Structure 1
Amino acid sequence: MIFSEIATKMNTKIQNDEQMTVDIELNDGTQVSCAVLIVLTVQEKDYIVLLPLDENGQNNDGNVWFYQFIQKSEDDEPELGYIEDDDEYEAVADAFDEYLDDVEFDELIDADPED
């Protein structure tokens, strides 16, 4: 999987245990705090994968949300955009599934057989 420069920098922060959250305002006006899981690059665009959290900072259903991640430069504040095209959404979901498969495989490889 190939990541853009911006995605690589964001993912490095996430991997270094820098807890990152984003507050999203839903159509009904409610605010939802989300943990940032990863920024993926799909077809030369960046997408952010968010894990919605309840008021206790937990996620009980395992659902994730995908948004376009738009950051023109490192100095600019990133923007999130809706993914309105079904094919584009499916490509992002497939990339996230591939990422999860890679992470799971890496964890199996890194697992100590003595455990």
Structure 2
Amino acid sequence: MEFSKIATDMNTKIENDEQMTVDIELDDGKIVTCAIIIVLTVNAKDYIVLLPLDKNGQNNDGNVWFYEFIYKGDDKEPELGYIYDDAEYEAVAEAFNLYLDDVEFDELIELPEEDSESL
């Protein structure tokens, strides 16, 4: 899947019907394939949460990577930026933790469908 299509899904949960991935080149030249978890907006900036995968497409340690998601328009590839500021990084981590709490809550509590009548 093309990386630029992520921009259309900002602020929404990326569904796992089709796992979207992106290849990241590290400073040492190593390429790591990452699953895209979600794009979050924190303090009017967009951030992407990536789950690094091993050569078998798995992640066994649960670590995620946060990057600034820089969208420059439909005709240009988005860019990833490092988060250098500790307070900014903590704000993104907290937003991701809240997202995880919401996902867990939704999985634990089966909410009635909108079309069904409640008693």
- Letter of the 1:52 counterpart: P
Bigger mean CA offset, 81-90 vs 68-77 = 68-77
More helix as a share of residues: 1
Residue 73 (str. 1) matches residue 73 (str. 2): yes
Distance (Å, rounded) in 2 between the aligned partners of 1:74 and 1:15: 21
Distance (Å, rounded) in 1 between the aligned partners of 2:108 and 2:76: 38
Shift, 1:8, TM fit: 6.1
The answer as to whether partners of 2:42 and 2:91 remain within 8 angstroms in 1 is yes
Distance (Å, rounded) in 2 between the aligned partners of 1:108 and 1:7: 29
RMSD between aligned residues: 2.2
Which is greater in Rg?
Answer: 2
TM-score of the superposed pair, with normalisation by structure 1:
0.83
Residue 26 (str. 1) matches residue 26 (str. 2): yes
Partner of 1:86: 86
Partner of 1:106: 106
Distance (Å, rounded) in 2 between the aligned partners of 1:76 and 1:17: 26
Aligned residues: 107
- Letter of the 1:85 counterpart: D
Secondary structure of the 2:14 match is helix
Shift, 1:28, TM fit: 1.2
Shift, 1:69, TM fit: 0.3
Distance (Å, rounded) in 1 between the aligned partners of 2:47 and 2:90: 12
The answer as to whether partners of 1:7 and 1:41 remain within 8 angstroms in 2 is no
Shift, 1:26, TM fit: 1.1
